[in-house]
Amino acid sequence: MNPRILALGATTQSLLRPALTSLMAVAVFSSKLALAVDALERAALIELYNSTNGDAWTDNSNWKISTGGFNAIGTECTWHGVHCWVGLDVNYIGLFDNNLVGTMPQLLGLQHLFKINVGSNQLSGSIPDFSYAPQLQEFNASDNLLSGTISSSLSSSMELQVFNVHGNNLTGNIPDISQLAQLTSFDVGDNSLTGSFPSALTTLTHLQSIDVSQNADLTGDIPQDLGSLTELTHFVANDDDLTGLLPDLSGLSNLQIFNVEGNRIAGSITGIEALSQLIVFDIGHNRIDGPIPDLSALQQLNSFFAYDNKLSGALPDLGTLSALQRFQVQYNQLSGVLSTIPPPNGTPGESHLCPNEIAAPYDPLLNIAWNIATTGMAGSPWWGPPGAGCDEIFKNLFEP
């Protein structure tokens, strides 16, 4: 045969080979899409539907056919809220705010599940056994009616990154989660959990958000090595019953929200000067003493709440904090002549200085500025009405 024809044939073959390979891949992919999910996965989905009154869901499209039965085998990955990997394995269930009412079933059969979001529904019963979903990365069942304890099986989900059960009726202790090395967000706030603050949290170096707030019987100390969590952006533990000392916060260079309001924490404010990303700092209603440190480097700071403590000394300079909207330090032991201007862009009426033993300045304009900052009105004095504001002996000092 002519060598040129042979060469042309070889060239054509080499050009067609990638296209043929792609067509074969598409054919294989399409054939997989036509396959049904595992029978156990289908059964688990149907159990979820039945146990949470699926007929009344806000959106239950494709789950059932017009005659009332469940849609055909092979359609599961088209059911609303069900997401599959190449049509074979259920890996994500997303039914957030979808009017799920009833008990939450176990995850039996969903061994490939890596994300489930059923937050903002009316699910009751207990949290499922996590040992049935060893690949789980995200679990969100916030704002439901779940009760019982957080199962120790949680530690079996070694890939877990997000755990959110905020706003339920859970009780008991927070289990050991020291094995969850990939955890980035842990939210058990607004429940009825008891026991001690989980000190193991500080060993989970990828944590970015911790919320254990509004568990009135959660006791113990905030770990003193909290500053080792260098990726932490949110720490929320308000309205618990925590004691001990406020930890040094200087290592938390990414911290944006720190809220421990309404506990019995003592000690002094340490390390806050280094937190350049800080937006909200709330230590109100505790037993913290010592001075308020220099805040001038906190250019992102929006709210500073340190009311009802034992803070002493003079107020720090606030004049350079252009983002600060609220500065509340009433009910402390602060003293000295008021010399700093109020937050330059603060919300009128949202800052509070009294009661404290703060002396009024002689500058009438500074008094007016603080009147607006604390009461919202230029003619209403910042030191408050007689008997309810700052020490009466100081209010007359503003008179020329």
Query: What is the structure's pLDDT at 165?
Result: 98
Q: How confident is the model at residue 87 (pLDDT cuts 50, 70, 90)?
A: low
Q: Report the predicted TM-score, pTM, of the whole model to 2 decimal places.
A: 0.88
User: Could you say which architecture CATH assigns to the domain 39-398?
Assistant: Alpha-Beta Horseshoe (3.80)
Question: Measured in Å, how far apart are the chain's first and last C-alpha atoms?
Answer: 116
Q: pLDDT value at position 282?
A: 98
Dihedrals φ, ψ of 16, to 5°?
A: -80, -25
The CA distance from 93 to 382, in Å, is 54
Rounded Cα distance, 264 and 133, in Å: 39
Sort strands 185-187 and 310-313 into parallel, antiparallel or unpaired.
unpaired
Which residue type, as a one-letter code, is found at position 278? L
148 forms bridges with which residues in the sheet?
170
Using one digit for the tens of pLDDT, what is the confidence trace for 187-212? 999 999 999 999 999 999 999 999 99
DSSP-derived pairing of the beta strands 89-94 and 82-85: antiparallel
Q: With 0-12 CB in 10 A as exposed, 13-18 as middle and 19+ as buried, what is 65?
A: exposed
CB atoms near residue 194 (< 10 Å): 16
Please check whether residue 146 is in contact with residue 170, taking contact to mean a CB–CB distance below 8 angstroms: yes
What is the rounded average pLDDT for all residues in the chain?
Answer: 88
Average pLDDT over every residue of 158-187? 96
Of 46-50, 275-279, 384-388, where does mean pLDDT reach its minimum?
A: 384-388
